[in-house]
Structure 1
Amino acid sequence: MRDLHKPGRSEVLATEGMCATSHPLAAKVALDILAQGGNAMDAAIAGAVLLGICEPQMTGLGGDCFVLFNRAGEDKIRALNGSGRAPSMAQADALRAKGLSTVPLNSPDAVTIPGAVDAFCYLADTEGNLGLEAILQPAIRYAEQGVPVAPRVAFDWQNGAATLQGAARDHYLINGKVPDIGQVFRSPGQAEVLRQIARRGRDAFYSGDIAQDMISTLTAMGGAHTADDFQNTKCTESTPMSGKYHGIELVEHPPNGQGATAILLLNILKHFDLSRMDPLGAERVHIEAEATKLAYDARNRFIADPDHTARAERFLDPEAAAKLAALIDPKRAMPAAAPLTEAIHKDTVYITVVDQNRMAVSLIYSIFHGFGSGIASEKYGILMQNRGAGFTLQPGHPNELSGGKRPMHTIIPGMLRQNDRVMMPFGVMGGAYQPTGHTRFLSNLTDFDLGLQETINAPRAFADGSVLKLERGYSDAVSKQLSEMGHNIQFSETPLGGAQAIRIRDDGVLEGASDPRKDGCALGY
């Protein structure tokens, strides 16, 4: 139990249903949907779409999603890939011919076709109870009436505003300025888009006036996007991957997401007794950092569109993990792996919902960098993701940019299962940090027996390329010791990620926790 004399928050306990996410309005809407007879999928979609209005710098209709879920009465976990593809005419050679070594972040070359809307419509039809009209109504109302800008959102908006270009400045600045905390942001164009989707389904978004608005904006800037690219967008069902740590099964979405990296990282960490270490000490940070370098090096070389790589199962191989663990010097930092040729980011939203029938949904939804590509469609103000910057231009690489291909994704939903029972949907937003965040989350729970909220609150560290990022919760002594071990320490101004989780206890009670690094909360009833 936390020290009640100190500032903090307690876990939220309820019995009928619960949502945890990064904005309270979205959490409330999810509970309202449950109260109307919707299930966890209805509620998760309603909350996620609203997050695109509450946190437009993080996500929106022009983005992608990944989902893990179980059906009521089942413990089988299912996966849905809602990531879009590069335009069919996209070519790495064309960018290399311009002298480029990476896909430019704020160009139409980085804009892949949005996949989330197709996924939401598919899931509402196949897994939901209420239908799109009811699910989308709250987001339509808030898009029209407006949402007061929350403190963390205002912080991120200020940091990302320089990315906005052309029509995006009209749609996402107020009188040419970044909104202040509490200032009301409205998006009438997106309200109309959502109304059309509610009436006509996914075709309203991927064909006709709305699709043409996006295509015209992109082609005017030199994009290769076509009407067929949009119309042919289709989500795909996938088979989750998993690995065990201290008897708990970590379930991840398969590639083209980076979830396999978290499983490899845990398999490496099994070779070290973290439980005997100080949870906030240098020794633990060092071992995790070294394991991260090795696991991420594998990620950078092999994670790609599953249609173009067959190496994902290698991430589950205990022998491969053992060989990597043997490379770690407990006293000295190794050089960082080669820097990424594909972009990384920190901007994503995550929502998890559990309903009274114990359907659990773990959903992550993003436009990649802050405000995505910075390009918004002229008429409706749909921000376009720059997920194509997740491709590499390295010839022959499995993640090389190519027409009709899905890029490596950093966003990963998570679930925990114990004794074949779904026990916790969870996620840790934070771009490249996410596999490290998933492993640290599970380690905090099992190695150090931290409570759910304390597991989320605890300071974070991340070996990010050539630097070891520390949050300010670490002591000067720990920082000094890590420096002496050869780490290049950086205290990041922006917190590392943001987690949300709901534990389904053996007694049936739901226990929720939400990251104070964000504006959100866990709510239950």
Structure 2
Amino acid sequence: MKHLYATLLLLLVLPIVQGQDRLTGETFTTRSEILARNGMAATSQPLATQIAVDILKKGGSAMDAAIAANAMLGLVEPASCGIGGDIFAIVWSAEDQKLYGFNGSGRSPQSLSIDYFIEKEMNYVPFYGPLPVSVPGCVDGWFQLHQKFGKLPMETLLAPAIDYGREGFPVSEVIAYEMGSNYEDLKDQPGFAETYMPKGRPPQKGEVFRNPDLAATYEKIAKKGRDAFYKGAIAKTIDNYMKKHGGFLSYDDLAKHKSNWVEPVSINYRGVEVWELPPNGQGTAALQMLNLLEGFDIASMGFGSPEYLHVLTEAKKLAYEDRAKFYADPEFNTIPIEALLSEAYTSERKALIQMDAAADTYPAGDMEIETGNTTYLTVADKEGNMVSLIQSIYSEFASGMVPDGLGFVLQNRGQMFNVQDKSHANALEPGKRPFHTIIPAFITKDGMPWVSFGLMGGAVQPQGHAQIVVNLVDFGMNLQEAGDAPRMRHRGSSQPTGSTMTNGGTLNLETGFHPETLRELRKKGHRIGFGVGMYGGYQAIGVDWTQKVYAGASESRKDGQASGY
């Protein structure tokens, strides 16, 4: 009788308890959106966000604040980003009422060709050491973006990061984990341990870390401009360092570097325009996925349902087969973007999806063409300008190579090249930009900005972009909910230049999906997996033009923060 009363009491109380788990929002949401009228910044590290807001308060533009924040992230988040890497951006100009696209990716050394790897019977470019190093495009990107959209002098923008570099900062939790995750593989690379292991180990959470070498490098750039990096003392140091350690990147490669302004590409998804940058990045894959998803009644399936996750996964598989075949440097290839995003091609590809079974393999598209670890941030200012910016050195601590006394690691983006097949679109060639994973995103509605967002994390990015858009549009989530919602990540082959699937690949599902959903997906033939830290890191700013209010979001998977004033 005692147990019966307890059971009845539990049944009476349970609905009340379930209804009171949150004041507002979905159960998985970490917090409410941040709201402000004059400006907003969202980055993956709170100190960088605060610097961005400070720059906005000083009268700086959204671009000024973005550059200042990016410089700070290169200091406080060094395993993921820095001036040894590349940069991409989508910028809304309030004055011009249009979007601008920017590709700041660097090229392969002129003295390195695919024959080097073929002769040595190397099937892949290694992750570490001198061979994967390509020209860093970040600094040139800062100055080109600043010239077009900046207001305050570069010395003002880099000053906060310079001060923190000399005085030190406490390492935050997720970044401490990232800095310690693969140092054993990198500690013997020249200059790495001296810069990032001052006590013989990576810094721990809460430990004060300093990088006076990077502060000095930033000071040279602030005072002498972009040529200090590409034609001055910094370039000469990099050249000497690479020669000393068997590398191919040279002074001439740095001196010849140039970034590119590009036209963003878009598709209409249920009444909103979703914008990405064209290849050599992978943003087109997100658009291909959304085109396929628009052919299904996603809203009626419901978030987290086996039907939705099945369709999402199959759309990913299809888009990534095209990604592996076609995406590369457009200066060396003609890439059929218009055809890949066409209604006819989408219908043809959608017909391959079976609702009751996961595919083991899909063919890449067949069409006539000519042969031929990351940080994301977004900032908006009181004039209505918005910046969606992503910047990376590729894998955690990249090549591991730190030029003498400069305080930053050189990217290993060249690892993405195909060095097995000379006819492949992404085959290594001198002076060529590799296939790139980092992609900023933007959504407009009725011709005006609606959401500036990004989701860092290698190959997960197009998958993540598609999920964010679906969360916002189909499931009606707000910015914070859309980022905090549990995600899927399908993984096939680890190599970006080959097929994305082997026996269907593995569908990794983050904590938060119902066990019954997992069972139903297995019945359809999906191999279910789990992983830690593999689902990306999201930041976003949205606009309510009626109220003239910004909303900011920064998810709980990173150390980040959204803040405004």
Give the TM bin, normalised by the shorter chain: over 0.9
2:521 to 482, 495, 517: 482
- Say whether the 8 Å CA contact 2:238–2:250 is kept in structure 1: no
Separation in 2 of the partners of 1:96 and 1:75? 49
Shift of 1:374: 1.2
Which amino acid is 2:126 matched to? P
TM-superposed CA distance for 1:206, in Å, is 1.1
Letter in 2 for 1:518: K
Q: 1:338 to 1:321 in 2, by over 3 A?
A: closer
Task: Give the letter aligned to residue 429 of structure 1.
Answer: M
* Count of residues paired in the alignment: 518
Show the counterpart of 2:395.
369
Instruction: Report whether the alignment pairs 1:84 with 2:106.
Output: yes
User: Quick one: which of 520, 533, 538 aligns to 1:494?
Assistant: 533
Moved more, 492-501 or 195-204: 492-501
Q: Are 2:554 and 1:517 equivalent residues in the alignment? A: no
443-452 or 155-164, which moves further after superposition? 155-164
Cα distance between partner residues in 2 of 1:455 and 1:168? 38
Aligned equivalent of 2:22 = 3
- SS for the counterpart of 2:181 is helix
Of 498, 504, 508, the residue aligned with 2:548 is 508
CA distance in 2, matches of 1:234, 1:309: 19
Unpaired runs of 5+ residues, structure 2, are 1-19, 365-372, 493-504
Matching of residues 332-343 of structure 1 within 5 Å: 332-336=357-361
Partners of 1:363 and 1:315 in 2: CA distance: 25
Query: 1:312 offset after TM fit, Å?
Result: 2.4
Deviates more, 1:323-332 or 1:211-220: 211-220
Verify the 8 A CA contact 2:238 2:251 in the aligned structure 1: no
Q: Which is worse superposed, 84-93 or 118-127?
A: 118-127
Task: Name the SS of the counterpart of 1:99 in structure 2.
Answer: coil
AA at the equivalent of 2:51 = V
Aligned position for 2:75: 53
- Offset of 1:156 from its aligned partner? 1.2
Q: Deviations over 1:316-353 (max 9, x none)?
A: 211111111110111111114699xxxxxxx1101100
- Contact kept, 8 Å, 1:11 with 1:512, in 2: the verdict is yes
Cα deviation for residue 407 of structure 1 reads 0.6
Distance 1:337 1:221, change over 3 A: farther
Q: Secondary structure at the match of 2:158?
A: helix
Partners of 1:49 and 1:199 in 2: CA distance: 15
Q: Distance in 2 between matches of 1:20 and 1:217?
A: 36
Unaligned runs of 5+ in 1: 340-346
Instruction: Determine whether 1:239 maps to 2:239.
Output: no
Partners of 1:158 and 1:331 in 2: CA distance: 43
Alignment match, 1:470? 509
2:315 aligns with one of 282, 286, 291: 291
Q: Matched residues in 1 for 2:172 and 2:182: separation?
A: 15
- CA deviations 1:235-270 (Å, max 9, x no partner) are 111111000101010011111111111111111111
The TM-score, its normalising length taken from structure 1, stands at 0.96
Report the 3-state secondary structure (helix = DSSP H, G, I; strand = E; otherwise coil) of the residue aligned with 1:174. Answer: coil
Structure 1 contact 261–315 (Cα < 8 Å) conserved: no
**Higher mean C-alpha deviation, range 352-361 or range 423-432:** 423-432
Deviations along 1:71-114, one digit per CA (max 9) or x if unpaired, are 22333100111100000111011101111111111131210000
Matched to 2:542, the amino acid is R
Distance, in Å, in 1 between the alignment partners of 2:67 and 2:211 is 19
* Structure 2 partner of 1:187: 211
Instruction: Pick one of 415, 430, 442 that aligns with 1:389.
Output: 415
Alpha-carbon distance in 1 for matches of 2:397, 2:89: 22
* Matching residue of 1:440: 467
Q: 2:349 corresponds to which letter in structure 1?
A: L
Please tell me whether the aligned partners of residues 256 and 409 of structure 1 are also in contact (alpha carbons under 8 angstroms).
Answer: yes
Judged with a 3 Å threshold, the aligned counterparts in structure 2 of structure 1 residues 444 and 125 are, in CA distance, closer, same or farther, namely same
Instruction: Give 2:178's aligned residue.
Output: 156
Structure number, greater radius of gyration: 2
Q: Which digits, 9 at most, give the CA deviation of each residue in 1:106-149, with x for residues without a partner?
A: 13121000001001012122210002111111111111111211
Q: Which amino acid aligns with 2:428?
A: L
Structure 1 residues 120-269: aligned runs within 5 Å: 120-164=142-186, 165-269=189-293
- The 1:275/1:240 distance shift into structure 2, 3 A limit, reads same
How do 1:83-122 and structure 2 match up within 5 A?
83-122=105-144
Report the CA distance between 1:295 and its aligned residue.
0.1
CA displacement at 1:171 relative to structure 2: 0.5
TM-score normalised by L of structure 2 = 0.89
Percent identity between the aligned chains?
41
* Structure 1 counterpart of 2:345, from 320, 337, 345: 320
Q: CA deviation at 1:475?
A: 2.5
Q: Amino acid of the residue matched to residue 471 of structure 1? A: E
- Between the aligned partners of 1:472 and 1:338, the Cα distance in structure 2 is 31
In the TM superposition, residue 382 of structure 1 has moved relative to its aligned partner by 2.0
Following the alignment from structure 1 to structure 2, what is the Cα–Cα distance between the partners of residues 212 and 279? Answer: 54
Amino acid at match of 2:312: E
Match of 1:411 in 2: 438
What per-residue deviation string (whole Å, max 9, x for no partner) do you get for residues 290-319 of structure 1? 110110110110011111222222222111
State the Cα deviation string for residues 33-71 of structure 1 (Å, max 9, x = none): 011111000000100111011100000110000011022
- Whether the 8 Å contact between 1:462 and 1:469 is mirrored in structure 2 is yes
Aligned to 1:62: 84
Q: 1:134 to 1:336 in 2, by over 3 A?
A: farther
